[in-house]
Amino acid sequence: MSIDVLINELKGLKEGDRGVDRKIARQLGWKRHVENRGTNQNGQPIEKVKWIGAEDGKLPLFTDSLDAAFGLVRIVTGFRLGGVSWGNGEFRAVIGEGLYCTGATPAIALCIAAMTAKRGEDQDEE
């Protein structure tokens, strides 16, 4: 998935979405590793999912948690100056001298800003 498609998907969110969190992780280069742990009493497989690249192996709630969204900003950009504001039912986030990004929640706005910054950095590397 291209980063532009992901940014557009983020812009359309009304609330956090685990599927989008996984897409963000993949944009970061993280890999999903599934470990088979046998079966339960009903014969269903028991699996442990670990994200290779994540600090603790767990997928953060990027689009649902303000703390996780700030963590995403740190991963993508380091500790640049930025901010989040709100008004009229909208939330806006900006990182450094980047674009102001609007989202349905503060976490989503930060995710959009982080992925927008990543897109700019990726283009600079080309």
Sequence ranges of the domains in the chain: 3-27+60-125
The pLDDT of residue 58 is 95
Instruction: Summarize pLDDT for 74-84 with one digit per residue, the tens.
Output: 999 987 789 99
The pLDDT of residue 103 is 97
Per-position DSSP letters for the chain, written without gaps between them? --HHHHHHHHHH-SS--HHHHHHHHHHTT-EEEEEEEEE-TTSPEEEEEEEETBSSSSPP-TTT-HHHHHHHHHHHH-S--EEEEEETTEEEEEETTS--EEESSHHHHHHHHHHHHHHHHHHHH-
Unique residue bearing structure tokens 């897109």: 119
The pLDDT of residue 88 is 86
What mean pLDDT do residues 42-67 have? 94
Residue 36 bridge partners (DSSP): 47
Q: At a CB cut-off of 8 Å and minimum separation 6, what does 106 contact?
A: 66, 69, 84, 86, 91, 93
Lowest mean pLDDT among 17-21, 24-28, 43-47, 101-105: 43-47
| Res 125 pLDDT > 60 | no
The pLDDT of residue 122 is 58
